[in-house]
Amino acid sequence: MIIIGEKLNTSIQKTMEAVQNRDEEALIALIRAQEEAGADYQDVNAAVGGDELAGMQWLAGLVLKHSHGGIMLDSPSTEVIEDVIKKVGERPVIVNSVTLSERLSLLPAIFEAGAAVVGLPMDGGGIPRTAEGRKKNAERLVDKITAAGIPPEKIFIDVLAESAAVADENLMIALSSIPLINAIDPGIKTVCGVSNVSFGLPGRVNINCAFLSAAVAAGLQSAILDITSPAVKTALLSSLAVVGRDEYCLNYIAHMRGMKG
């Protein structure tokens, strides 16, 4: 499971305030906490609350200086991505995101940088309301991305998990999409933003953990989540142990021993 820390996103009030105030101490602590908790990548998004390019440049610089893992450049702006992707050097990068109708112009820059890319299986008609519709869009999107020279191994397809509070069927559609999209090509990886599923609900971590466990069982290969949350990390490692993706449950055992310590 590839873990992407979600906390460096200015849609989160505390993160936005820290970026606006250029509070290095708070953000460095967050970067280190995510990496220590097991984040393979750190999602960086400065689209809310000010000058996005300046914020993204600054946040990405902090991640590069104070962590050792990869970085996810998360922006609706092609200009921001094209600028920052040139500044990350040899660090593993995932660009979030392209769709069938938006930001496909980024693909040459992503290819040139040797980066990976998240594809959202949607077009101008919006998010498909069936798992089969998402699979068909994902197939079309994978074709476009690979035609730009990016191999399947560097493609993440988002299963588009939406809040359960909006429609009863939202989470089951996303869960049903996972095995269908995994079957497109053994190289591509399914991904989703786990915290999306609980927007508008009380006790959000409960819904996040329940969905995460179901998604792991369905074959989810990567997740954007709050890995610093003890409940979320425990749900993740428990689920990986249950489905046989943790040899001899060693990661789960180490985690539980660490919590007792």
Separation of alpha carbons 164 and 58, rounded Å: 34
How far is residue 237's CA from residue 167's CA, in Å, rounded to a whole number? 28
**What do you get for the CA distance between the two ends of the chain, in Å?**
25
Q: What is the pLDDT of residue 261?
A: 61
Q: What are phi and psi of 123, to 5 degrees?
A: -130, -160
Q: What is the pLDDT of residue 129?
A: 97
Q: Write out the CATH class of domain 98-224.
A: alpha beta
Can you give the pLDDT at residue 260? 74
Q: Which residues contact 188 (CB under 8 A, 6 or more apart)?
A: 142, 152, 153, 155, 156, 157, 181, 182
CA–CA distances in Å: residue 8 to residues 11, 14, 69, 147: 9, 10, 14, 32
- The whole-number pLDDT of residue 228 equals 98
Under a CB-based contact definition with an 8 Å cutoff, are residues 115 and 85 in contact?
A: yes
pLDDT tens digits in sequence order for the chain, 261 residues long: 999 999 999 999 999 999 999 999 999 999 999 999 999 999 999 999 999 999 999 999 999 999 999 999 999 999 999 999 999 989 999 999 999 999 999 999 999 999 999 999 999 999 999 999 999 999 999 999 999 999 999 999 999 999 999 999 999 999 999 999 999 999 999 999 999 999 999 999 999 999 999 999 999 999 999 999 999 999 999 999 999 999 999 999 999 999 876
User: Nearest Cα to 193, choosing from 164, 170, 224?
Assistant: 224
The reported pLDDT for the residue numbered 259 is: 87
Q: Report the run of H or E that residue 222 belongs to, with start and end.
A: strand 222-225
